[in-house]
Amino acid sequence: MTNAHDHGIKGPALFLAQFLDDRPPFNDLDSITRWAASLGYRGVQMPTVDPRLIDLELAAESQDYCDELNGRCAEAGVAISELSTHLQGQLVAVHPAFDELFDGFAPAHLHGRPDARRHWAEEQLKLAARASRRLGLRAHGTFSGALLWPYFYPWPQRPSGLIEEGFAELARRWRPILDVFDEQGVDLCFEIHPGEDLHDGATFERFLEAVDDHPRAKILFDPSHMVLQQLDYLGFIDRYHERIGMFHVKDAEFTPSARSGVYGGYQGWVDRPGRFRSLGDGQVDFKGIFSRLTQYGYDGWAVLEWECCLKDAAQGAAEGAPFIAQHLIQRADKAFDDFADTGSDPGRNRRLLGLGDPS
């Protein structure tokens, strides 16, 4: 199931990660997909760490299971837009300063065992590649992880070669995973996100160079993270559109003051100058984004990721589907002035240029 614009952006879709809960209808696949469909969503982006939604290992090995999974979603009224391994991708590269904090992203038996945790994460990504192919998906979303994040600001002065070595190691870890995704015919889309070594265009370019422009290394475009960094997110699309393989529709605002700016002053989300908001409540120019993505031929899904510090999740989800639907663009199949076309005549063209008829 897709939107009516088969050759344009698909949607609306909903990332389920923020809505899973022990309470119905958010506590199992059939209920949450029916709920999403009832709000007007046509797709769901599925996190892969919660067995209530998917058994990732089984999905990687069993076509029957994947066919059943697709069938259950279709019966509810949605399609699977993409799978997500954001939490597992984070664990592919963890600086020791964050070991204890990120242990919570892995099974309990891996806590305090960073090497084993990393191996588990890498295998999870490879399973996700095979599962995505069996589900008929062409893109997958994840995080890059971070070895260098403690050094993002150059004070004290960074030692020569530190950044280069960090990206070389990041490439060594991700290249085998990228190769598996290539074998499966699926793009691996890294969400450009603070806290990741791939957090802006410059860092993505460093990574791309380190993996020799790997054809499956793509971008999950989320403008909210660019607002909080004060990046030109429309110019980002102009520059990197060939590498954009996924799209999170998420709003944000940035209102700096004399007291606090981009770094946020260690304040909670409500009090930070940079805040995530529900769709339409922030500063993101979504008309500009959808126009540019349409211009460059993006035909993947537009997926709501709800993360708002003020509005309730249920309200944000209910408002999100019609918001995205209103921004979808059915690409024109002819030029607006075709009615005035006078045809092609090489001789006339030369005469109009004062060159005379061709000899």
Write down the domain spans for the chain. 10-352
Of 111, 109, 89, 90, residue with least CA distance to 100: 111
Where on the phi/psi map is residue 265: left (φ > 0), alpha (ψ -120 to 50), or beta? left
Query: Measured between alpha carbons, how far is residue 247 from residues 96, 218, 221, 257 in Å?
Result: 31, 11, 5, 30
Query: 10-352 adopts what CATH topology?
Result: TIM Barrel (3.20.20)
Q: What is the mean pLDDT of the chain?
A: 95
Instruction: Locate all alpha helices (DSSP H) within 62-161, ordered by sequence.
Output: 63-76, 86-90, 99-102, 114-134
- Which pLDDT value is given to residue 6? 55
- Which pLDDT value is given to residue 359? 66
Instruction: Examine the pLDDT at 35 and tell me if it is beyond 90.
Output: yes
pLDDT one-digit tens code per residue, 326-345: 999 988 777 777 777 878 88
DSSP 215: T
Instruction: Examine the pLDDT at 2 and tell me if it is beyond 70.
Output: no
